[in-house]
Every structure is written in structure tokens, then in C-alpha cells.
């Protein structure tokens, strides 16, 4: 299951589900803000081992669909990589572990 909401994370306690935390990497439509305290609060709840498995964090840079060329798509992919690495490290440093997976849907450029 994919989520980006603290109340949903709390509601899923005890379900045995495998859960991914969605991270906003620039499109600002879905996902926790990686620079926010709220994002870490959701990660903390998921990492509390309350009967679910926090499998990792994921993102989708939907704004990459509007790129004009491969260079611009590569810049968005690098920005996404940096954000995900930073947020993953922030989670680890603050003691909110996850299974260790970080996933991103790579931007594609179509001429």
C-alpha cells in the first residue's frame, strides 16, 4: 500500500500490510514534503512496528512528463534522486527505519 498521510498510517496499524511512504519530489500533487516535520512524523509512525511493514519510500516525478529534452529530464531525475537520498538519510538519522528500499519512477522524455 502507498500512503502519504499520518492518520492513514495510524489506521493501518495491526493490518499486517506492507506500506510505502510517498514523497513529493517536485510535482506538489501527492506525497509528504521531504523537508517537513510532518514527513518524518509519518515515517516515525510507519517505522514504529505496530503490525505493519514499512517497506520504504517512493516517488513519482509527474512533472517530468513536461520536459522538452533529455537534458531537462535528466535534471529532474537527478533532483528526484537527491531528494529521495536526503529524505531516506533523514529518516535513518532520526531513528525511523524502513526496510531499506527507495523507489522512483524514472522520468522519460519522448521526442
Instruction: Confirm if 109 and 72 have CB atoms less than 8 A apart.
Output: yes
CA distance to 23, 49, 97, 111, per residue, from 59 (Å): 5, 22, 18, 24
Long-range Cβ contact pairs of 3-6 (< 8 A, separation 24 or more): 3/42, 4/30, 4/31, 4/32, 4/42, 5/42, 6/38, 6/41, 6/42, 6/45
Task: Tell me which H or E stretch contains 57.
Answer: strand 53-60
Task: Dump pLDDT digits (tens) for 61-94.
Answer: 776 677 888 888 888 888 888 998 899 889 888 8
Q: The pTM is what?
A: 0.83
Amino acid at each position: 500500500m502507498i500512503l502519504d498521510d499520518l492518520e492513514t498510517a495510524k489506521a493501518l496499524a495491526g493490518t499486517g500490510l506492507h506500506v510505502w511512504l510517498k514523497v513529493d519530489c517536485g510535482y506538489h500533487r501527492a506525497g509528504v514534503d521531504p523537508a517537513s516535520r510532518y514527513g518524518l512524523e509519518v515515517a516515525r509512525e510507519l517505522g514504529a512496528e505496530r503490525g505493519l511493514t514499512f517497506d520504504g519510500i517512493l516517488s513519482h516525478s509527474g512533472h517530468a512528463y513536461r520536459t522538452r529534452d533529455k537534458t531537462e529530464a535528466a535534471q529532474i531525475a537527478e533532483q528526484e534522486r537527491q531528494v529521495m537520498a536526503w529524505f531516506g538519510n533523514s529518516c535513518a538519522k532520526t531513528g525511523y527505519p524502513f526496510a531499506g528500499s527507495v523507489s522512483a519512477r524514472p522520468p522519460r522524455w519522448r521526442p
